[in-house]
Amino acid sequence: MRVRVGQGFDVHRFVEDVERPLVLGGVTFESERALAGHSDADVVAHACADALLGAAGLGDIGQLFPDTDPAWAGADSLELLAEATRQVRAAGWEPGNVDASLVTDHPKIAPMRDEMGRRLSAAVGAPVTVKGRRAEGLGALGRGEGVACWAVAVVTR
């Protein structure tokens, strides 16, 4: 097989923490809320990394960057994404593109969507696109308890 597809999903819950930055797709948003997590909790970068790793058959970022390892505490997830991509290439796969759907009502995604795409694309070295979706008031995401992201990646030999 010379073309493979991978899928990634991630979710992080919101915490009230004015000290902690809210980072999505490598972009820091002005917000009183932040996402809980061992790294900077960038769900978009994490979902993209899992999609790429899955496409290459390399597992997931939990295996690559365990949250028990202090080396990754507060880590910049664009660097985690870049490292995951390096491992994908080391395994002989070239990323084709990644497409992500970010589901949240807060913050507003549209104004920063292209900037997220630019930063994620730079980390991957291939086109990454991001779409923002509202949860329409449904469930935990609709109540604003957290942010979820789905991503799909294609890699080629």
Interface residues with Mg ion (CB under 5 A) are 10, 46
Of the pair 33, 46, the CB lying nearest Mg ion is at 46
Asked if 98 and 126 touch (Cβ cutoff 8 Å), the reply is yes
Shortest distance in whole angstroms from residue 59 CB to Mg ion:
14
Q: Which is nearer to Mg ion, 64 or 126 (CB)?
A: 64
Reported as type and span, the H/E element at residue 84 is helix 77-90
CB atoms within 10 A of CB 147: 27
How far does Cα 86 stand from its chain's mean position? 16
Closest to Mg ion by CB, 148 or 155: 148
Smallest CA-to-CA distance from 79 within 130, 114, 45, 44 is with 45
CB of 3: closest distance to Mg ion in angstroms?
27
Closer residue to Mg ion in complex, CB, 59/92: 59
Contact 150, 7 (CB under 8 A): yes
Least distance to Mg ion, CB of residue 10, Å: 4
Task: Give the span between the Cα atoms of 130 and 26, in whole angstroms.
Answer: 12
CB of 34 to Mg ion, least distance (A): 13
Which lies closer to Mg ion via its Cβ, residue 10 or residue 151? 10
How many Cβ atoms are within 10 Å of 1's Cβ, its own excluded?
A: 5
Give 11's strand partners: 148
Least distance CB 151 / Mg ion (angstroms): 12
**For Mg ion, which residue has the nearest CB?**
46
